[in-house]
Amino acid sequence: MKPPSGQGIRLAYLLLNLASLCRPTPLWKDRDSLMQQEKARQTGGNLVLSRQEQQLSTKLVSLKKKEVATAIATGQFPPSMHFFRAKGLIDQSTVFSILKRMPKGAVLHLHDYAILSVDWLVYNATYLPDCYICFTHTGTVRFHFSKPHPPHPVPAQCSQWVLLETYRKQLRNVTEFDHSLLRNLTLVTDAPELAYPSQTLIWKRFEEVFLIASGLICYAPVFKAYFYQGLLELYEDNIQYVEIRAILPPVGDEDEGHSLWDLKDALTIPYSLGVNLPYFFHAGETDWQGTSVDNNVLDALLLNTSRIGHGLALIKHPVAKSLSLKKDIPVEVCPISNQVLLLVADLRIHPAADLMAEGHPIVISPDDPPIFGAKGISYDFYEVFMAIGGMNADLRTLKQLALNSIKYSAMLPDEKAKAKEVWQKKWDQFVADLSDSFLKDL
């Protein structure tokens, strides 16, 4: 058989090129449909807004795009920055000012010794009579209320107890001393990367803050006033309901503790007695994959948890994620906590972004706001709206998150109905007031 001539080769090449021109073109006509399908699946995607809500949503998204454009130009996008550096920028945000006014429903993940700004503890609790202080060898403090003098021995690594009222009288600069007490009660620092170079170190400091605060908060007169002021601060952030988690020391860093599997025998005792306890487990607050702690997300679901606290590891477990969706078990997302405790540096890539894109049930929570230098939950909502939810997050997203917080609370059905009714009135007023203010600006 003769080999093909040069002319034959050129003809074959021409035919191949012509064939490529006959291939079907990309199905661009399906692009809009596919994008709409994605939008419908995301958090709040199926909510139908009123005309006034839709107008407000358009304005809010426009403000977000403007802030993002500024961030791109300046290289300073708050959710991609450490919160200690970003907070000042967030405070100046128009979007944030709107979110502060928004009725946010319920806070479902908040610890009892971290519900109120630490300023109140320093400038009120530490000025009460019979408040003693001791100084540790590591530069921190402990507090104790006692009458007469506190009993010995003093806490480990601590100096002798000194009456704080007497100590302040000996100081030249009481203001600076009080500022040092504020620093003892938060993690806030100008250089977080230098102060907390590892999760181990920041967790050690984080847990110590609770020990310091407990010496003040556990005093009955302070305890009562602390919770009243804390609830007032949450109310001022437009929160209508709160579920507070009691701390059981040394419960803390999930990676350092026992897994749920280790504790299964104790945790299943109620079932053997015919009691169905409504568990609310922290689970998956870890970056490690394939560890016993990493499996907590699955074990929490098997133990019939009502919600999953943090749940960063959930997206690494497709079976657990599918099960949580099937059982309608939400994840309590605490973005600022996750960032400060070195689990997620840039909140644009927070695991909850995946959950929100799929419409997985979630609720937004602040975890321990005063320790992070925040108040209430508005800062966390800002991070979610600006970054975790992406540019597609709009008023429907915010509305769904607020509704979720009531739906997935521990309230009884009739209490949820009443809470939703109260929230709806506040929401309608929020939309009306904001719409009026926008019209005045035009």
Catalytic residue positions, numbered: 285, 310
Question: Taking a C-beta distance cutoff of 8 angstroms, is the pair 161, 150 a contact?
Answer: yes
Cis status, amide bond into 153, omega within 30 of 0: yes
Question: Taking a C-beta distance cutoff of 8 angstroms, is the pair 247, 113 a contact?
Answer: yes
Ranges assigned E (strand) in 99-160: 106-111, 131-135, 141-145
Selection from 65, 69, 64 nearest residue 99 by Cα: 64
Cis status, amide bond into 148, omega within 30 of 0: yes
CA dihedral 237, 238, 242, 247 (to 10 degrees): -10
Q: Which amino acid is at 60?
A: L
3-class SS of residue 387 = helix
In angstroms, rounded to a whole number, what is the distance separating the alpha carbons of residues 379 and 369? 9
Question: Taking a C-beta distance cutoff of 8 angstroms, is the pair 283, 310 a contact?
Answer: yes
φ, ψ at 333 (rounded to 5°)? -95, 125
Distances (CA, A) of 294 to 106, 110, 288: 28, 22, 6
3-class SS of residue 257 = coil
